[in-house]
Chains A and B, each alone.
Chain A
Amino acid sequence: MTEKPDLRAAVAAGVVGSEDSFRALLAAIVEVARSIFGARASSILLLDEKADELVFEAVVGEGEDTLLGSRFPAGKGIAGWVLATRTPLVIEDVQQDPRFAKDVAEGTGYVPSGLMAAPLLHDERALGVLSVLDRPEQSLFSLKEMELLGLFANQASIAVDLLLKARTANSVLEQGEGDLEIVARLAAVVDGLEDSKRDAGLRLLRELADTLRA
């Protein structure tokens, strides 16, 4: 089996988890980030390298109904700067920047007045940007918040890396012969079983493999 990348991908896709579960993880991360900072909104933008665009992959708070899935050029704006320079920054009164409003808030009617943004980095790669919008006006920013933002970005990077791996596994599966999907489903089901049921399931699969080989 180790010589068959499609089969490996099928099993990986089944065991690693679905895209939905990683999307839920990203949503949970932005929800906690928004809550901890007392912000009006938080989002994760992922880099689509082929299109050279940033895509809203998780949004909570203002804009969550409209922004998800929307895109803008990866080289421009504040998020583009954060991504390209791998450097986090915090800006207040972003309303004064018309380009920011155009890039991010177009179509939502929501223009934030403050923004914290950190790059999502995994190994050498820049995967996207974590943003927290509109912290309470009365709270002065300090280095403690910057550190916290970095911690969230680190957590989000790990989740994004897993999401991208799951996508790759699924895409290999889709490009292969579609009937391998059953292998992914089997792997997922067996992986979800416990104790005696799991033992029984594995026994059944071994016998099935022997029968098919015969």
Chain B
Amino acid sequence: MQHVTEHSADSGQSALPAWSLPKDAVDRIALPAHWPERITREWALGGGTGKGARVCILDSGVEAGHPLVGELEGAVVISIGENDEVIAEEDLEGDVSGHGTACAGIVRALAPECGISSVRVLGSSFTGSGAVLLAGLRYAVEQGFDVINMSLSTTKKPFASVLHELADSAYFKRTVLVASAHNMPVESYPWRFSSVISVGSHEEDDPMAFFYNPSPPVEFFGRGVNVEVPWLGGRSLKVSGNSFATPHLSAICALILAKHPELTPFQLKSVLYLTATNVGGGK
């Protein structure tokens, strides 16, 4: 997508000061003058379709061509080679559980014109699934997606530090990681990291209702109960869980980023806060 390259650290903005701020550089980092005095939901995403934003579904694959998903921009399956190399091949199998298709459908419903890609990290076997998840996330971050939807987590502590690095590296590359929070009393990752947008469930019916949580680590609540979603074989189901609240926030991020591609993840999170239903978005 155009805006990714325009605003990535490697291109047009590389002239901006990165490590310190000399006097003569102050003007160059002035905030855009067109920012309104008050950030509203209408300013943030009103009239948006997500066109131009690229969303990655890191999950069980996506059923391409499902009437509620449409065509995909790409679909790869991740595996680890004999020499520990990461292999990303075209995914011909599609969705192995239905879950990835459900997430893609939620994103498509809210941001109908955004680009959706699938990076499949589940399904070949359970053994080694943690390593594949890490490799898949690394691959997705390298692709420069605007939003990566992670409706999954790992409890493996050895993976936590690598996941942390990947989450930070995504953050600085302007890729937003949206991750499902755990609603069970266990330590899991990456949702607990502050560089990601962590999502729990609320029970409202409005798919655009989202709430800021003043008591983190769960930062936002999205619609996650009794949600109609596409499933395998062109069908639909009703589902509940934080893993379905997450793509609601991913779609909302895509809508905002499509309209305001200049936003960094920090700014995006601030806009989410200011436009949350319980902050400014409910008015």
Contact = CB atoms under 8 A, between A and B. Distances in A.
B188 to A, nearest CB: 6
A87 B226 contact: no
Nearest to A144: B203
A80 B99 CA distance: 11
A85 B243 contact: yes
Contacts of B129: 75, 84
A206 interface: no
Interface in B101-142: 122-127, 129
Interface string B86-109: 000000000011110000000000
B232 A98 contact: yes
Contacts of B233: 96-98
Contacts of B236: 96
Given A81-B122, A97-B231, A126-B155, A141 B226 contact: yes
Contacts of A67: none
B153 interface: yes
B183 A84 contact: no
A126 B182 CA distance: 14
Contacts of B169: none
B157 interface: yes
Interface string A89-105: 11111101111100000
Contacts of A47: 126
A140 B203 CA distance: 11
B3 interface: no
Majority SS at the chain A contact face: mixed
B154 interface: yes
B186 A75 contact: no
Interface stretch (A10-18, A117-125, A184-192): A117-125
**In terms of DSSP, what is the predominant structure of the interface of chain B?**
loop
A42 B184 CA distance: 19
B126 A75 contact: yes
Chain A interface category by residue count: 35 or more
Interface residues of B, number: 43
A40 B248 CA distance: 32
B156 interface: yes
Interface in B223-261: 225-226, 231-233, 235-244
B198 interface: no
Contacts of A98: 232-233
Contacts of A91: 237-239
B153 A85 contact: yes
Interface stretch (A58-66, A146-154, A160-168): A146-154
Contacts of B244: 89
Interface of B: 60, 96-99, 122-127, 129, 151-157, 180, 182-186, 188, 201, 203, 225-226, 231-233, 235-244
